[in-house]
């Protein structure tokens, strides 16, 4: 594991032993060097209330939220479609919401995935305890199965929901339908 | 021309929007006949003494199925002799999810010593009739005369990650209520899970 990733770990406990202190020092030094400033994308944790706010705030007209996890084969298969969308459509805000923390409290897998696949879209990790409570808040039509995608026109409030793997061209159609 | 365009848009939209099909709580279930890991066909009618069933759409590959595997086996050990056996059904298309082949189901059922049927839903018609969407997805059925009524739909409990930290045992609570002749308090829940691997249309 690279020290940089450890540094980015948002909720890690501070190391206390001397051995760990050395590591911490190294991490701090690395973080202070200019090369580290170009560290790419990372993923922040988000609670359900903030996610709901994020989904409804009108800062961007069309928002696309894809719910995925590193263990989900079809999610990984469709991810390039979201990457293509966020690169090609600056008018659409794409967010990939990882549900990995539901099964594994350690976000390392998500960080590694983002790094390995060079994910450029915005990634969030939903950090919540009671799926039965939060799934409905994201979309009433969602059973909780992954992958799932919500397309929102924040100006009109129109929302489309898909609970299956998307194919090439589907997102463009859904965006046209929501506009 | 305008109408044709509108139709095309509508068709495209409906193709992607999930239709709310399947059973709701209170609905009567139509029996099915599916192949078990021992090669024999199994129907709900084969259990004349059952008071109901814990039907679980499950699979070999989903990480949620894996973390719940021991809990599913415990449910059968706890409730089969009280009249609510577990019936596990794998609806995944093995051509999409290779680890969900029938041979692999046989291997897993043997290795884990399954005490309950593990059925393959080759045509996915049972999963569709129930409205199952993910694995594991539970349907608790309650026998009322000759009818089997859906009493609970959803998750096994409220904590996939840690069996020790569970605070709400949805399925256990539902079956216990039925055994005591009481109404089920929580009849529907949701949980994160693996989407069923549907055959390509």
pLDDT in tens, B19-58: 558 999 999 999 999 999 999 999 999 999 999 999 999 9
Q: What does residue A110 show for φ and ψ, rounded to 5 degrees? A: -70, -45
The DSSP bridge pattern shows strands A62-68 and A148-153 to be antiparallel
Q: Which pLDDT belongs to residue A27?
A: 47
Q: CA–CA separation, B69 vs B67, rounded Å?
A: 6
CB A72 within 8 A of CB B63: no
Within chain B, strands assigned E span 33-36, 41-43, 52-57, 86-90, 118-120, 134-135, 137-144, 147-154, 193-195
Helix/strand/coil percent split, chain B, to 5: 35, 20, 45
> For residue B124, is it left (φ>0), alpha (ψ between -120 and 50) or beta?
left
A-to-B residue pairs, Cβ atoms closer than 8 angstroms:
93
Residue in B12, B20, B193 nearest the CB of A144: B193
**Does any CB of chain B come closer than 8 Å to the CB of residue A164?**
yes
> What is the average per-residue pLDDT within B188-199?
96
List the single residue in A71, A145, A160 with the smallest CB-CB distance to B195. A145
Per-residue confidence at B3, pLDDT binned at 50, 70, 90?
A: low
pLDDT of residue B101: 98
- Which residues in chain A have Cβ-Cβ distances shorter than 8 Å to B67? 103
Residue A96 pLDDT: 98
B12/B8 Cα distance (integer angstroms): 6
Q: Which residues of B touch A148 (CB under 8 A)?
A: 195
**What is the per-residue burial (b if ≥16 Cβ within 10 Å, else e) of A64-90?**
bbbbbbbbbbbbbebbebbbebbeeee
Q: pLDDT 10s digit of each residue in chain A, 179 long? A: 333 333 333 333 434 444 454 554 444 444 444 443 344 578 999 999 999 999 999 999 999 999 999 999 999 999 999 999 999 999 999 999 999 999 999 999 999 999 999 999 999 999 999 999 999 999 999 999 999 999 999 999 999 999 999 999 999 999 999 99
Residue from A100, A144, A148 whose CB has the most chain B CBs within 10 Å, to mutate:
A144
Are A12 and A27 a contacting pair, CB within 8 Å?
A: no
**Distance to chain A for B138, nearest Cα, Å:** 12
- The verdict on a CB contact (< 8 Å) between A145 and B193 is yes
| Cβ of residue A130 closer than 8 Å to a chain B Cβ | yes
Nearest by CB to B161, from A102, A161, A176: name it: A102
Q: Please, are residues B44 and B171 in contact by the beta-carbon 8 Å criterion?
A: no
- Determine whether the interchain pair A103/B191 forms a contact, defined as Cβ–Cβ distance below 8 Å: no
Provide the sign of the torsion angle of the four alpha carbons B115, B28, B182, B132, taken in this order.
Answer: positive
Q: Is A173 on the interface with B (CB under 8 A)?
A: yes
Residue B7: predicted pLDDT:
53
Among positive and negative, which fits the CA dihedral B18, B65, A126, A9?
negative
Residue A74 in contact with partner chain B when CB distance is under 8 A: yes
Select from A98, A126, A131 the residue whose CB has the most chain B CBs within 10 Å, as the one to mutate to test that interface.
A131
What span, in angstroms and rounded, lies between the C-alpha atoms of A34 and B28?
Answer: 66
Average pLDDT for residues B102-126, to the nearest whole number?
98
CA–CA gap between residue B106 and residue B101 (Å, rounded): 9
**Interface touch B191/A135, C-beta < 8 Å:** yes
Contact status of A106 with chain B (Cβ, < 8 Å): no
Among A136, A147, A161, select the one facing B190 at the smallest CB separation: A136
Q: For residues B197 and A146, is the Cβ–Cβ distance under 8 A?
A: no
Contact A105, B161 (CB under 8 A): yes
Helices (H), chain A: 3-8, 18-32, 48-56, 73-88, 108-116, 131-138, 170-178
- Contacting A with CB below 8 Å, chain B residues are 9, 12-13, 16-18, 20, 63-64, 67, 97, 133-134, 137, 154-155, 158-161, 168, 189-198
Please report the pLDDT score of residue A34 as a whole number: 41
The Cα-based distances of A106 to A7, B2, B21, B34, B151 in angstroms read 14, 53, 36, 40, 36
Average pLDDT over residues B107-114: 98
Give pLDDT, residue B90. 98
ipTM over 0.90: no
Whether residue B42 contacts residue B36, with contact meaning beta carbons closer than 8 Å, is answered with yes
Predicted local distance difference test score (pLDDT) of residue B5: 54
Pick the residue with more confidence: B14 or A128? A128
How does the average pLDDT of chain B come out, rounded?
92
Taking contacts as CB-CB distances below 8 angstroms, the residues of chain A near B161 are 102-105
Q: Please tell me the predicted confidence (pLDDT) of residue B33.
A: 98
Among B58, B59, B45, which residue's Cα sits nearest to residue B146?
A: B45
Sequential DSSP letters for A18-50: HHHHHHHHHHHHHHHSGGGGG----EEEE-HHH
Report the sign of the C-alpha dihedral through residues B125, B129, B133, B134, in that order: negative
pLDDT of residue B169 exceeding 90, the answer is yes
Q: What is the pLDDT of residues B60-84, one digit of tens each?
A: 999 999 999 999 999 999 999 999 9
């Amino acid at each position: 594991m690279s020290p940089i990733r450890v540094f980015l770990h948002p909720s890690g406990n501070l190391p206390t032993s001397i051995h760990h202190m050395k590591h911490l020092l190294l991490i701090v030094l690395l973080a202070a060097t200019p090369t580290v400033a170009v560290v790419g994308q990372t993923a922040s944790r988000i609670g359900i209330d903030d996610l709901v706010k994020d989904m409804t705030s009108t800062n961007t007209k069309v928002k696309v939220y894809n719910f995925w996890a590193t263990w989900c084969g079809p999610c990984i298969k469709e991810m390039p479609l979201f990457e293509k969308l966020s690169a090609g459509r600056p008018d659409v805000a794409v967010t990939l919401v990882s549900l990995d923390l539901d099964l594994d409290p350690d976000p390392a897998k998500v960080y590694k995935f983002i790094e390995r696949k060079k994910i450029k879209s915005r990634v969030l990790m939903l950090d919540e305890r009671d799926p039965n409570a939060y799934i409905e808040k994201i979309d009433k039509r969602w059973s909780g199965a992954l992958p799932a995608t919500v397309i929102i026109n924040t100006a009109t409030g129109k929302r489309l929901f898909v609970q299956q793997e998307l194919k090439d061209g589907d997102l463009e159609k859904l965006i046209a339908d929501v506009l | 021309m305008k109408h044709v365009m509108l139709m095309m848009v509508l068709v495209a939209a409906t193709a992607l929007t999930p239709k709310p099909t399947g059973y709701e709580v209170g609905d009567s279930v139509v029996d099915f006949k599916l192949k078990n890991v021992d090669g024999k066909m199994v129907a709900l009618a084969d259990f004349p003494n059952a008071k109901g069933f814990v039907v679980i759409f499950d699979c070999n590959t989903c990480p949620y199925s894996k973390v719940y595997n021991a809990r599913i086996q415990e449910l059968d050990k706890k409730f089969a002799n009280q009249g609510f056996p577990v019936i596990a059904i794998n609806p995944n298309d093995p051509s999409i999810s290779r680890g969900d082949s029938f041979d692999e189901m046989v291997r897993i059922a043997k290795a884990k010593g399954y005490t309950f049927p593990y059925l393959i839903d080759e045509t996915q018609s049972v999963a569709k009739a129930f409205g199952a969407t993910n694995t594991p997805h539970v349907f608790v059925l309650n026998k009322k005369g000759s009818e089997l009524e859906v009493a609970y739909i959803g998750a096994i409990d409220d904590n996939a990650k840690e069996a020790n930290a569970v605070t709400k045992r949805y399925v256990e609570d539902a079956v216990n209520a039925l055994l005591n002749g009481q109404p089920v308090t929580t009849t529907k829940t949701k949980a994160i899970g693996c989407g069923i691997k549907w055959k390509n249309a």
